[in-house]
Chain A
C-alpha cells in the first residue's frame, strides 16, 4: 500500500491518531492506523465530554485558550452532529471567585473568546439547577462532545478518501530499526493471533498516554505522564449549558450535561500505568461536594456511574508537584533532530477539542520532512455522519 507520497503508519486509534490519519489521507497519503483495542478505548472516549472554548485556560495560557477557541469553532462547523452546542456558564460562587471575575473576562477577550457577563437572574433563568447564591455569571461558547461519535466521524472521513486502512485490535510488539531508521513495525492481530510486519516510509506515534512506551520500542526517550482523573455521573439532565466554577482551574469544577445525564469532573493525579486506572478513594465524595456548590441538589440525583481515564501530559516527570499546572498543550516532535531516528514523528499531549489541529500540525511536519507542500483542508470540509463510519470499510466491510 503505497503511492507517490508514500505510506504512513499511525500508531494509536484515539482522537489524535484518527484526526492525523484523516488529515494525511485528505492530503493524499496512504495510511495504515494501528490500534491495539477498539478505537478511542484508551483516553479519548473516556474524556469529560467538554468542548472547550478555551475560557478555562485563558488565565493560565492565552495561546492554548486561543487555540481552543479556534478549534472549537471549527469542530462546530465540521461535526455539528457530534456536539450539543448550548454554550457554557462560568459562575462565581464566593468572594474569592468574585475577585477573579474581571481578570478572567479580560483574559478571555484577549484570547478572542467572546466572554459576556450576564445578570445573575438571567443565568438562573437559563439554568434552574444553579445555586441561587451565585454572585456572577459569564457566558462563553462551550459545549458538549460525544467523543466516540466525533472521532468515528473523522475515521469515516478518512475511509471516504479510500486512502485509509484501519486495523483495530492490532498491537505493536516491536519497532524494527537499522541505521537510525525505522524499517517496519511488528504487530500482533488479536482477532486471529497472527503476527506480521508492516513497512512504511514514515511512522507516527499518536499513542496518547502510551506514547512513551511506543517511543521506547524505538529506543527514544519521550516524557509523557499518564495523568488520570475521575468523572462522576448522575442520572437526569440538570442543565443545557456546561457550567464551570469561575476560579483558577482546579478539581471538580466543571459540570457537563450530556443526553439525560450530568457529569462532574475532574480530579488529577499521576500514574505510572495507563492500562488500568482505578478511581481514587475519596474522589466521589469530593466531586459530589464540589458539584453541590454550583448545583445544590446534585447529590439527590440518582447515581449513574463514575469512571477514570489517563490524560497524556507531555514533558512531565513523575515527581511534578502541581499536576494542574502542567500544560494542556500538545507537541509534534520530529525524532530526526533530537533522537536521530529519521522517519518517526510523535504527536503528544493536547485535548479532545484540539484533535483536528493536532492532526494538521503532525501532517504539516510530515509534509515538511519529505519536502512537499500540500495545504490542509480539514477545517473546511464537513465530516460524514458517525453512522457512515460503519458503511466505509471498518471491520473489513
Chain B
C-alpha cells in the first residue's frame, strides 16, 4: 500500500527516558506498524500491546504526541513534521515500555454481558434460532478515557461508569439494577466527575463516557 516513504523519528518513552528511533517508513503505515518495524528490525526488546490491528480489541492505546490514541488507527501521515512521541497511558501501572496493566479499570466494570441488540434491521425478525440481532458493545476497554480523565480523587472513572450505565439499561432484574445503581451513585460514582468531558473527546470508538455519566446523573 502507498509508495511514499520518508524518514520518521519515533521517540518512545522507555522507563524514564525517551529513546529515539529513526527509520524509513511509508506514510500510509500506522504507529503500530512503526512499532512492529522497530521491534523486528532495530530492537527486539521493545514491548507494546497489540492484537487486532483494526481498532476492535483496544489493546494498543497509548499517548501519541500528547493524546490518547489507538496505535493501530493512527497514521504516520497525520504528522507532517515526521517527529512522533509515543508514551504509555497515564493512570495505569507500567509493566514495560508501552505496556500498561489495565486491570484497575476492568475490575471496576461489571462482569456481565458484552453483547447488546444491534441497531440494524430491528424491525425484521431474525432467522429461526436467534432471539434478536446482536452485536458487541462499542467500548473496547482501551483505557484512553481513564488515562485522560483529570479527576485525581477516588473515582470509578469514565469507562466503568459507562459500562455500569449500559448494563443498567440492559438489565430487567430489580435487584441487579439496584446493585448497579449503588455503584453508580456511591462514593466513587458519578459525583466524582468534574465534567471535563475529555473522556468523550479521546474515546477512539465514540462511546461518549461523559454522556453516560450525564445520563446517570439525570436518572438518579
Contacts and interface: CB of A to CB of B under 8 A. Distances in A.
B89 to A, nearest CB: 14
B113 interface: yes
B56 interface: yes
Interface stretch (A54-62, A254-262, A367-375): A254-262
A37 B47 contact: yes
Q: Majority SS of interface residues in chain B?
A: loop
Interface residues of B, number: 57
Contact of A391 (B30, B45, B107, B141): B107
A173 B54 CA distance: 30
Interface in B50-64: 50-59
Contact of A86 (B40, B49, B130): B130
Given A276-B40, A385-B111, A45 B1 contact: no
Interface in A273-316: 275-276, 278-279, 281, 283-284, 304-307, 309
Interface in A344-396: 384-391, 394-395
B126 A275 contact: no
A278 B5 CA distance: 14
Interface in B82-134: 93, 95-96, 99, 101-103, 106-107, 109, 111-115, 118-121, 124, 126-127, 129-130, 133-134
Interface string B191-220: 000000000000001000000000000000
B44 interface: yes
Contact of A87 (B48, B119, B130, B135): B130
A162 B115 CA distance: 28
Interface in A152-201: 169, 171, 190-193
B127 A139 contact: yes
Contacts of B137: 259
A85 interface: yes
Contacts of B52: 45-46, 147-148, 307
B72 interface: yes
B51 A386 contact: no
B130 A306 contact: no
A86 B101 contact: no
Interface in A205-256: 231, 233, 237, 239-240
Question: Looking at B30, B52, B102, which has the most chain A CB atoms within 10 Å of its CB?
Answer: B52
A81 B54 contact: no
A128 B114 CA distance: 26
Given A38-B51, A191-B95, A391-B107, A148 B127 contact: no
Contact of A169 (B99, B120, B126, B134): B99
A304 B50 CA distance: 17
Contacts of B127: 87, 118, 126, 139
Given A148-B52, A192-B96, A305-B54, A84 B47 contact: no
B54 A87 contact: no
A302 to B, nearest CB: 13
B109 A237 contact: no
Given A45-B52, A46-B51, A390-B103, 18 more contacts: A37-B47, A37-B50, A46-B54, A87-B130, A147-B52, A149-B57, A169-B96, A237-B119, A239-B120, A259-B56, A259-B205, A276-B36, A283-B1, A387-B107, A390-B101, A391-B106, A395-B95, A395-B103
Q: What 6 pairs between A and B have smallest CB-CB spacing?
A: A45-B51, A191-B96, A148-B57, A390-B103, A307-B53, A390-B106
29 contacts: A38-B59, A38-B99, A40-B57, A45-B51, A46-B53, A81-B115, A86-B126, A86-B134, A126-B127, A141-B129, A147-B51, A148-B52, A148-B58, A169-B47, A169-B96, A240-B121, A240-B133, A257-B135, A259-B137, A260-B138, A261-B54, A276-B37, A276-B40, A306-B1, A307-B52, A307-B53, A388-B111, A390-B107, A395-B95
